[in-house]
Amino acid sequence: MPGFEWFGNEERKEVADVLDTGVLFRFGFDQARQEHWKAKTFEIELAKRIGAGHALLCSSGTAALSIALATCGVGAGDEVIVPPFTFIATIEAVLNAGAVPVFAEIDETLCLDPKSVKAAITPRTKAVLPVHMCGAMARIDEIKDICTQKGLILIEDACQAVGGTLNGKALGTFGNMGCFSFDAVKTITCGEGGAVVTDEQQLYLTADAYADHGHDHIGNDRGAEGHPILGNNFRISELNAAVGLAQLRKLDQILDTQRKHKAAIKTAIKKFDGITFRCVPDEEGDSATFLSFFLPDETKAKQVITEFGQAGIDGCFYWYSNNWHYYRQWEHLKNLSSAASLPITLVKGLPDYRNLSLNRSDHIMSKLISMQIKLSWSDDDLNRRIEKIEGILKHSSFAP
Ligand SMILES: *Cc1c(COP(=O)(O)O)cnc(C)c1O
């Protein structure tokens, strides 16, 4: 998963360019910056790489979600359909927009189940926000069809899935807007950073203004720019963009390596009866940051994850109970614990998340183990890892 495993002279050179000029700001200073436009260059190369009309780099994946929601007009009282398996940022962004997160079930893709999305639609539904979780895709074509039929906005949280595709089309480019994260542990990293992408020029222009206090960025004099809307500051610095630019140029190499490592482990695990894999609608398009598989039941999943831990097989996740990526552990959401009071009108419109019960998702997640795929493994590391995994699975009977 993490691009930081591969920092090298490429990142150093890009950062040095910025430090040499002293221009850390992404706009203006045309003379002083000596042609170095790291954020702008990143945007052009990202849009080209994933086949999006426009890309806007911003300060984080969470910022990207907030920008996308605001830009698409999702605000006070609107319902947004979200999955229960995601990083909490997805839910926080919806709440921060003043909108109501409405949970639908996931299916064996570990992403939103299109049927459950349909069932969750009400007259107040404004948008659907699927998450391409753990590097692979939701049934985004089916979800898009539902949004088109029902006139709903589609925003993709592709924060964990840069470089992933469905039938050759990049994740993040199916919806009205797509969001990426380049935080410290993502596939490629800026240290902190994110991006929104869209094919619609007006959305791009609104996002570009919103992320920088409403500046319209017309002309060469920042002080004289117009401010058509109120906005926020979700800008990225040139230093972060510089790191990310070098990383973006390694994306294909990163994906190749992840896919190779994932395939080797998958081939080894496949031999064991009773183990099944996460449903990936287009295996070729999996960015392969994780290998996710199901044991026959919760007891066996817990047994295996424990044994993996004892054997020193690192980077294994049992999200169902041990991690902060699943709704069962979101006590802060259930109690609506916030630093300051949430708007009373928002609170009145929220369901009681303490009563939230998603049986189908629970059933799926309780059997799931995810294994992080690293870039830095040598062939020896990989072989030793596979031996350990096989040793554990061999001693256990997984027939359901
Ligand atoms: C990482 C992540 C985010 C937030 O990204 P940051 O850059 O850390 O703000 C949002 N959604 C998902 C699914 C993520 O994994």
What pLDDT score was predicted for residue 351? 96
CA nearest neighbour of 244 among 234, 236, 253, 255? 236
| Res 339 pLDDT > 90 | yes
Tell me the best of 69, 162, 181, 370 to mutate to test the pocket of ligand 1, counting ligand atoms within 8 Å of each CB and taking the most.
181
Q: What's the CATH fold of domain 3-250? A: Aspartate Aminotransferase; domain 2 (3.40.640)
HSE-up of 157 (CA within 13 Å, CB side)?
Answer: 30
Question: Which position has the higher pLDDT, 217 or 395?
Answer: 217
| Res 399 pLDDT > 50 | no
What pLDDT score was predicted for residue 323? 79
Index of the ligand 1 atom closest to the CA of residue 160:
15
Report yes or no on whether pTM surpasses 0.75: yes
Q: Give the torsion through C-alpha atoms of 46, 52, 57, 59, to 10 deg.
A: -110
Q: How far is CA 238 from its chain centroid?
A: 22
Asked if the 252-395 domain carries CATH number 3.90.1150.10, the reply is yes
Q: What residue owns the CA closest to ligand 1's atom 6?
A: 61
Average pLDDT over residues 248-261: 98
Question: Which position has the higher pLDDT, 324 or 234?
Answer: 234
pLDDT tens for residues 50-94? 999 999 999 999 999 999 999 999 999 999 999 999 999 999 999
Average pLDDT over residues 243-249: 98
Q: How far is the CA of 87 from the centre of ligand 1 (A)?
A: 6
3-class SS of residue 400: coil
Task: Count Cβ atoms below 10 Å from residue 301 Cβ, excluding itself.
Answer: 21
- Tell me the average pLDDT of the chain: 96
Listed by start position, the domains of the chain span 3-250, 252-395
Band (283; pLDDT cuts 50, 70, 90): very high
d(CA 123, CA 101): 14
| Res 400 pLDDT > 60 | no
pLDDT tens for residues 151-196? 999 999 999 999 999 999 999 999 999 999 999 999 999 999 999 9
Band (1; pLDDT cuts 50, 70, 90): low
Ligand 1 pocket, residues with Cβ under 6 angstroms: 60-62, 86-87, 89-90, 131, 157, 159-160, 181, 183, 194
- The set of catalytic residues is 186
Q: How far is the CA of 255 from the centre of ligand 1 (A)?
A: 19
Question: Which position has the higher pLDDT, 164 or 394?
Answer: 164
What pLDDT score was predicted for residue 10? 97
Amino acid identity for residue 193 in this structure: G
Q: Give the torsion through C-alpha atoms of 210, 215, 217, 220, to 10 deg.
A: -160
CA nearest neighbour of 355 among 111, 103, 131? 103
What is the chain's Cα-based Rg? 22
State both tokens at 305: 């994850």
Band (395; pLDDT cuts 50, 70, 90): confident
Index of the ligand 1 atom closest to the CA of residue 186:
1
